Amino acid sequence: MLPIERSDVTGFRRIDTSAGRQENGPPMDNTLAGKTALVTGGSRGIGRAIARGLYGAGARVIICGREAKTLIAAAKEIGEIICVPADVRREKDVKRLFKVVDRLDILVNNAGGMEHFGTFEETSLEAWRSTFDLNLFSVVSVTRAALPLLRKSRGCIVNIASDVGRRPFSMGPDYCAAKAALVNLTRYLAAELAPIRVNAVCPGPVVTGPWGAASIRKAAARTLAKRTGTPEEVAAAVMLAVRNGYLNGAVCGVDGGAVRTP
């Protein structure tokens, strides 16, 4: 499938470059003008909020996701971005993605998620493999493909992990383990890939789908804030990791104080 670009959809907010703002949105700060950013899983939830933040700072933004419908919806909401249908678990999709990505300064590995809530005994080996494919191996695949471009730009990588990667909760053993592996991979890559900066942001409970009221209350109860977070609060931490050139190998918890450990 070809990339879905601005000309393929309607309803974009145009940018008034002379005024430095979108016609129907907040002022653009342009601190990332001239930079190109790729956000995997960027069509909804946290990924969409991150893409919106990068776009608002003046970056050229590319997002990918598995569903063309949600990609188009994200593009209509955010602005003049490039959308590529891609499942980053598939090597052929990753190769196709990097035929579109011609330069890269910022990589946000956001694609991931929970596929079940089973206990250890209930979680099959097939489920373990699927969870690691989605939450860890996809990051490995995309990062490997991105390295030649990131080396040219001396860019940065932000991996979206989870609070359960820092301290496991009852969120499925495979998911907790995969996110813990992603945290450790971040710390490792920060040393090996320097001067490319590599940091991780670990969201706590953020409601991005059809959560029930009981689930929201339970998730909020494990935080000091006694509430769930927002995608925009996670995106703000990603923007800090992108902008701060002295931040490297860091693992930033955006979890309302749920974990409180390094």
Q: What domains, with CATH codes, occur in the chain?
A: 6-254 (3.40.50.720)
The kind and range of the H/E element at 201 are: strand 197-203
Instruction: Render pLDDT for 37-90 as a digit per residue (tens, 0 to 9).
Output: 999 999 999 999 999 999 999 999 999 999 999 999 999 999 999 999 999 999
β-sheet bridge partners, residue 197: 156
The structure tokens listed for 191 are: 């040393």
pLDDT of residue 25: 52
Grouped pLDDT means (10 residues each) for the chain, 262 residues: 38 30 57 97 97 97 96 95 97 96 97 90 96 98 98 98 91 94 98 98 89 88 93 98 98 94 78
pLDDT at 29: 82
Residue pair 41/86 in contact by the 8 Å Cβ criterion: no
pLDDT score recorded for residue 207: 87
Q: What pLDDT sits at residue 102?
A: 92
pLDDT at 261: 81
204: left (phi over 0), alpha (psi -120 to 50) or beta: beta
The model's pTM is 0.89
246 in catalytic set: no
Tens digits of per-residue pLDDT, 16-42? 222 333 444 555 689 999 999 999 999
The angle at the Cα of 94, spanning 246 to 49, to the nearest 5 degrees, equals: 50
- CA–CA distances in Å: residue 238 to residues 36, 158, 245: 15, 7, 13
CB 13 within 8 A of CB 79: yes
- The catalytically annotated residue of 55, 175, 188, 246 is 175
> Can you tell me the distance from the alpha carbon of 210 to that of 31, in angstroms, rounded to the nearest whole number?
35
